[in-house]
């Protein structure tokens, strides 16, 4: 328990209050930096690297030169043209908690709480565990948003302090999964089986990316998986959107382009996989 609080720090790239989309009720979502998947459609590319980074929007830059010696630790830096920003800030458990507790009254009325997301928040399991414990001690509903490519032991650690998992199935087809996320789905699906068996609530989220996983076959396979191992409390389809594209450029990364799926398609796929 010595590790607790002040000494442990992690890089958080955003704390979003009043989130309506990361679980039940009104929530505060804490985004960890660092991910062990590299999904080609990721709309938060700044979440992938665990270290702080500089985002540079070249077209806004006037080349004034003020940032020539900028380092990622320069907290007070400000580009007057919004061309450069530092992504990521160090937080201790207590600092994160101080933000989360502010909306407690909203969680209580709405059945909401905190959602730890990322990136992959479970990569920093000890710190996450401390945060979860602290929230639970204070009566806050906790959710963990994970891609699931994590040793089962990590899940076991946090299970007693987690009310809900938001769990992604990105593809059932192993090759597609490997090609588009960088890893196979074996461990992910194994973990999901175990989670579905345990007492915790699970919401499964399926990103729908055209020409990757938007097929009836994929949905049927997911359905078959649920039929064998149990249905999660909720299934959500998340249509791909291109809102993260500009950030790839700002990070000097190349961006993969995908189409945005149409509404009818989503409806059709949803009807296959969602049992109600």
The site for another protein (CB under 8 A) is made up of 16-18, 20, 25-26, 76, 78, 80, 102-103, 105-106, 108-112
Of 55 and 101, the one with the shorter C-beta distance to ligand SF4 is: 55
Of 78 and 224, the one with the shorter C-beta distance to another protein is: 78
Of 86 and 122, the one with the shorter C-beta distance to ligand SF4 is: 86
Please count the other Cβ atoms lying within 10 Å of the Cβ belonging to residue 102: 11
Minimum distance of ligand SF4 from residue 56's CB (angstroms):
6
- What does 187 interact with, of another protein, ligand SF4, none (CB < 5 to 8 A by kind)? none
Nearest one of 149, 112, 117 to 25, comparing CA atoms: 112
Of 56 and 106, the one with the shorter C-beta distance to another protein is: 106
Contact indicator for 162, 128 with CB cutoff of 8 Å: no
| Token pair recorded at residue 59 | 């077209």
- What does 78 interact with, of ligand SF4, another protein, none (CB < 5 to 8 A by kind)? another protein
Minimum distance of ligand SF4 from residue 63's CB (angstroms):
5
Q: How many residues does the chain have?
A: 276
Q: Which residues, including other chains, have CB under 8 Å from residue 114's CB and lie 6 or more apart?
A: 27, 28, 29, 30, 100, 107, 135, 140, 141, 142, 143
Sign of CA dihedral 74, 50, 9, 29: positive
Of 78 and 260, the one with the shorter C-beta distance to another protein is: 78
- What does 109 interact with, of ligand SF4, another protein, none (CB < 5 to 8 A by kind)? another protein
Q: Residue 10 — φ and ψ, nearest 5°?
A: -145, 165
Give the integer Cα–Cα distance in Å for 202 and 196: 7
List contacts with ligand SF4 (CB under 6 A): 61-67, 79, 81, 83-84
Give the integer Cα–Cα distance in Å for 148 and 273: 20
Of 79 and 129, the one with the shorter C-beta distance to ligand SF4 is: 79
Helix (H, G, I), strand (E, B) or coil at 197: helix
Minimum distance of another protein from residue 76's CB (angstroms):
7
| Token pair recorded at residue 107 | 């969680």
Minimum distance of ligand SF4 from residue 72's CB (angstroms):
14
| Token pair recorded at residue 217 | 């076959």
Beta-strand pair 113-117/27-32: parallel
Of 76 and 263, the one with the shorter C-beta distance to another protein is: 76
Minimum distance of ligand SF4 from residue 62's CB (angstroms):
5
Please count the other Cβ atoms lying within 10 Å of the Cβ belonging to residue 53: 22
Give the integer Cα–Cα distance in Å for 251 and 266: 31
Minimum distance of ligand SF4 from residue 59's CB (angstroms):
10
- What does 61 interact with, of ligand SF4, another protein, none (CB < 5 to 8 A by kind)? ligand SF4
Minimum distance of another protein from residue 41's CB (angstroms):
22
């Amino acid at each position: 328990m010595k590790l607790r609080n002040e000494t442990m720090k992690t890089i958080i790239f955003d704390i979003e209050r009043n989130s309506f989309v990361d679980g039940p009720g009104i929530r505060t979502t804490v985004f960890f930096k660092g991910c062990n998947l590299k999904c080609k459609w990721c709309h938060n590319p700044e979440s992938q690297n665990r270290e702080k980074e500089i985002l540079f929007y070249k077209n806004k830059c006037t080349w004034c030169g003020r940032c020539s010696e900028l380092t990622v630790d320069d907290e007070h830096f400000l580009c007057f043209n919004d061309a450069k920003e530092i992504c990521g800030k160090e937080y201790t458990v207590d600092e994160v908690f101080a933000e989360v507790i502010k909306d407690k009254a909203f969680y209580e009325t709405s059945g909401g709480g905190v959602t730890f997301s990322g990136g992959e928040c479970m990569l920093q399991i000890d710190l996450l565990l401390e945060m979860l414990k602290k929230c639970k001690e204070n009566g806050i509903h906790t959710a963990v948003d994970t891609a699931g490519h994590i040793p089962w032991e990590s899940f076991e650690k946090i299970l007693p302090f987690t009310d809900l998992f938001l769990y992604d199935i990105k593809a059932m087809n192993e090759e597609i999964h490997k090609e588009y996320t960088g890893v196979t789905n074996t461990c992910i699906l194994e973990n999901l089986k175990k989670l579905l068996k345990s007492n915790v609530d699970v919401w499964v989220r399926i990103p729908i990316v055209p020409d990757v996983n938007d097929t009836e076959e994929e949905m049927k396979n997911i359905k078959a998986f649920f039929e064998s191992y149990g249905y999660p409390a909720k299934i959500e389809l998340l249509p791909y959107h291109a809102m993260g594209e500009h950030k790839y450029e700002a990070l000097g990364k190349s961006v993969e382009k995908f189409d945005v799926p149409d509404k009818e398609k989503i409806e059709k796929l949803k009807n296959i996989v969602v049992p109600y």
